Amino acid sequence: MIKSLLFVPVCAVLVACGGVEPPAESAYAAREFAPSVSEAPCKRNEASRLALFGDLHVHTSLSNDAWNFDVRAQPDDAYAYAFGESIQLPIGDDYLGRKVQIDRPLDFAGVTDHAEFFGEQSVCMDPAAAGYNSSFCEVMRSGEGRAPQLVMQIMSPFSKRRQDVCGEDGADCAGRAATTWQHTIDAAQRWNDTSEDCERTTFVAYEYSSFRMGSNLHRNVIFRNTAVLQRPVSYLDVHREWDLWRILKEQCIDGDTGCDVLAIPHNSNISNGRMFAVDYPGADSPAEQAQRARLRQQIEPVVEIMQHKGDSGCRNGLQGVLGGEDELCNFERFENLAFQRFVGEGEEVGQCYDGPLADWVPHLGPNCLDRKSYVRYALVEGLREQQRLGVNPFKFGLAASTDTHNALAGGVQEADYPGHLGNGDSMVQQRVSFSEENPGNAFNNPGGLIGVWAEENSRDAIFGALKRREVFGTSGPRIQPRFFGAWNMDPALCEQPDRAERAYKGAVPMGSDLPDPASDAPVFMLAATADAGSRRFPGTPLQRLQVIKGWADAAGNHHQRVFDVAGDANNGAGVDPQTCAPQGDGYGQLCAVWRDPEFDADVPAVYYLRALENPSCRYTAHQCLQLPEAQRPADCQQPLMDPVIQERAWSSPIWYTPGENG
């Protein structure tokens, strides 16, 4: 069933009444790249590449939805936390009530505050501003972080900046947004290590936050260096993602300023099937559609498969997906909360409408299911588009991050997770409760980390890894997965101490296409190293490695197969949720050389690695145990989500396309 917003007054839906016209596209033109004169080559540089861990989805008080939950941490605080320093967070009504510190510094990070209200927030917090007394500013200052008036600004397909806030020509918001954007740039520059030590890398970044028609279509925009747009492209100015891609290409990549950029879509699990829709509005001919698909592939080489709003990788029971149930697709199902909120009590969550007007059907929020909301099936749909258009718009590397709104870049440790939303989950009782009254309730999780295989810890090396999709995601642990594909491979490759170097010479790494066939079936080397943990928190051993294979049939059905390749699903390991004490053994490393036993040379296919840890306690189980028994909420005894989880890592895929590889 689809619930609409038809009861909302027309002017409220349009949010265009008295609106400010968006800037000319030339106003976004990129600045010249100004390299630091002190920048030195990294003294640690590995030809076979290093596993580096980071977080490219981080919000601070510059994001209004964080500010309204009493977060006061700035971008500098986010970088301080990411790289090992302690910062303060609110608790209850106390803005600075607790001190937190990451258990291990990250290698890289990027602050991605929502660009939509950069100017408006400054106006609304400044009593001297002309728009300070507007009704919009009164709501923004109210502390209601998800007030309907604010949500409608990023939900309406015709949204504009408001004249009563920004002035008739929008100049007040534009000028203040420029100051906020410069603040973001300056913080990234201060924390980027340009010495030969290369201990930390930062990226200038922001979030484009489209909630168009009630569907999440957010993207994090990441720049290679300081050649960045003069102003961020936000949803209030550009309502369609392909216009975002086009502006990034024309005003950044195609110029001569040294600007380079990519975008990372996230939370497709709450997109009502729209994140990976195959509809190309406005591009009618196959040639026009191929051009747009090529643009998307260029701008969006990576997708976020996991963050605090859940796992967007796969889901059981979806229409048009064959191959049996994948039990591990029941991981961190945040969208179930949204379905409780927006689907009538006692009603089933229906299939998303897919008719000719699907692009214009409004939703109160995520309220329908579709395979086009999940990354695994987007990868398969991309194979079909490759056959139809000659271009795969969904050729994604797989990544993860946190989406913290506490400025806690990389704060993913389950045992001491301090929450992600200021006073919305500052108390343990809030974080372990499944009540909708708590904005940061237990349907959320700590989020994940993005990993790259790069020669060194520098902007160019990490950005290069993102562009070529040699990237992986984890649900939090620092698992190091490797995935290589070829047509012939030494069966004893795993036994070689220089197996990575050998693999690079004779195979393609994750994120690549297999070359034209040279044998009957492709062969893959898959390996992973377990997270060793930190001084404060021990790591969890690996349980097994799997290869996920996807393909489509002539009728358009998607097929999935999960192969257990290394390790042991029945190794007897587990965890007691009553004590969180681990039981049984696992593996510090796993490696295998595996050939696809069901290969059909006529059928395009996509493969990726999933590495699984032994079972461990979810943060809710840890934190329920930290409360005195008399203070534990009822949800500690009857949780709506399993208190035992299997943390994991996903490699980027390797693609096979008959006759079109190389």
pLDDT band, very low/low/confident/very high, at 180 (cuts 50, 70, 90): very high
* Rounded (10°) angle between helices 75-82 and 171-191: 20
Q: How far apart are CA 293 and CA 249, in angstroms?
A: 14
pLDDT beyond 80 at 47: yes
Q: How far apart are CA 444 and CA 433, in angstroms?
A: 10
pLDDT beyond 60 at 421: yes
Q: Which residues of 491-503 are buried (b: 16+ CB within 10 A; e: fewer)?
A: eebbeeeebbebb
Least confident of 330-344, 517-531, 648-662: 648-662
Q: Which two tokens stand for residue 574?
A: 């587990």
Mean pLDDT of 408-428: 95
pLDDT beyond 60 at 598: yes
* 8 Å CB contact between 306 and 265: no
* 8 Å CB contact between 442 and 431: yes
pLDDT beyond 70 at 436: yes
pLDDT tens digits, residue range 278-316? 989 999 999 999 999 999 999 999 999 999 999 999 999
pLDDT tens digits, residue range 7-29? 343 444 455 556 899 999 999 99
pLDDT at 7: 34
% residues pLDDT > 70 (the chain): 96
* 8 Å CB contact between 150 and 137: no
DSSP 378-431: HHHHHHHHHHHHS--TT--EEEE---BSSS-TT---STT---SSGGGS-SHHHH
Mean pLDDT of 52-64: 97
pLDDT band, very low/low/confident/very high, at 39 (cuts 50, 70, 90): confident
pLDDT tens digits, residue range 308-330? 999 999 999 999 999 999 999 99
pLDDT at 145: 62
DSSP 357: T
3-state secondary structure 580-645: CEEECCCECEEEEEEECCCCCCCCCEEEEEEEEECCEECHHHHHHHHCCHHHCCHHHCCCCCCCEE
Nearest to 407 by CA among 107, 193, 144, 102: 102
Query: What is the reported pTM?
Result: 0.96
pLDDT beyond 80 at 212: yes
pLDDT beyond 80 at 35: no
pLDDT tens digits, residue range 610-650? 999 999 999 999 999 999 999 999 999 999 999 999 999 99
pLDDT tens digits, residue range 516-537? 888 899 999 999 999 999 999 9
3-state secondary structure 188-225: HHHHCCCCCCCCCEEECEEEECCCHHHCCCCEEEEECC
* 8 Å CB contact between 446 and 476: yes
Q: What is the mean pLDDT of the chain?
A: 94
Helix, strand, or coil here: 504?
Answer: helix
pLDDT at 660: 60
Q: How far apart are CA 518 and CA 537, in angstroms?
A: 47
pLDDT tens digits, residue range 255-279? 999 999 999 999 999 999 999 999 8
